[in-house]
Amino acid sequence: MLAPGKRPRATLTPGMALKDSQPYLSFAVQGGDIQDQVLIQFFLNVVEFG
């Protein structure tokens, strides 16, 4: 919620995936309490579904 004196929860969780020992994908998500779930969902969507 936006309000005076409040701070937004916008931390980043970076990730990097390798394929055949070479950089394949670098990514980060915002998400507060659900960052880790969103990070793995993003990764799986790219790897499994293109």
pLDDT digits (tens, 9 = 90+) for 14-27: 889 999 999 999 98
Structure tokens at 32: 């507060």
Inter-residue contact 30 to 11 (CB < 8 Å): yes
Contact partners, residue 18, CB within 8 Å, separation at least 6: 24
Q: Note the pLDDT of residue 48.
A: 94
Q: Note the pLDDT of residue 1.
A: 63
Give CA–CA dist 29/19, Å, rounded.
21
For the chain, what is the mean pLDDT?
Answer: 85
Structure tokens at 48: 């499994």
